[in-house]
């Protein structure tokens, strides 16, 4: 069996494409902007944190995985801080406190949520 074999139990149709600039721009405050792209069971969010910006420590019910794609940041996860750079990945399970701050440079992160983050959906609807 190949990883790319047609192993789904049902054949679906559909899907979608979008350019980053076509996605809604959400200003979350404190220098954080988001561009979400949502599927039925997963959400990808392009997150930009401006220099000296912050996403305060918070929790939510959705599982989150993030990848730093440019810049760097200080990421707090369950009370532990770590300096993240390009290529670093984090996992925030549901209900675990986490947040991010930047220094003198902008940081861009790709966040994935499952299920799609309800609070972000509410901001774009």
pLDDT digits (tens, 9 = 90+) for 54-63: 999 999 999 9
Measured from the Cβ of residue 14, the count of other Cβ atoms closer than 10 Å reads 6
- pLDDT tens for 39-59 read 999 999 999 999 999 999 999
- Quote the CA–CA distance of 29 and 6 in Å, as a whole number: 43
CA 71, 116, 92, 88 dihedral sign is: negative
Sheet of 89-92, strand order: 26-29, 32-38, 43-49, 107-114, 63-70, 89-92
Going by the DSSP 8-state scheme, the letter that residue 20 receives in this structure is G
Q: What does the pLDDT read at residue 1?
A: 65
CATH number of 23-124: 2.60.120.10
Query: What does DSSP assign to residue 25?
Result: P
Statement: residue 4 has pLDDT above 80 = no
- Alpha-carbon distance of 37 to 102, in angstroms, equals 24
Write down the domain spans for the chain.
23-124
Pairing of strands 26-29, 72-77: unpaired
pTM of structure: 0.91
pLDDT tens track for 68-122: 999 999 999 999 999 999 999 999 999 999 999 999 999 999 999 999 999 999 9
């Amino acid at each position: 069996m190949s990883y790319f074999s047609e192993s789904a139990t049902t054949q679906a149709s559909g899907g979608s494409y979008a350019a980053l600039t076509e996605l809604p721009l959400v200003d979350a405050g404190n220098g954080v902007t988001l561009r979400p792209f949502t599927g039925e069971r997963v959400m990808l969010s392009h997150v930009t944190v401006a220099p000296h910006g912050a996403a305060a420590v918070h929790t939510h019910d959705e599982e989150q995985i993030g990848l730093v794609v440019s810049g760097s940041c200080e990421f707090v996860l369950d009370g532990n801080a770590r300096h993240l750079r390009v290529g670093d990945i984090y996992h925030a399970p549901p209900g675990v406190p986490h947040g991010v701050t930047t220094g003198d440079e902008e940081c861009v992160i790709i966040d994935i949520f499952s299920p799609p983050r309800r609070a972000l959906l509410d901001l774009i609807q």
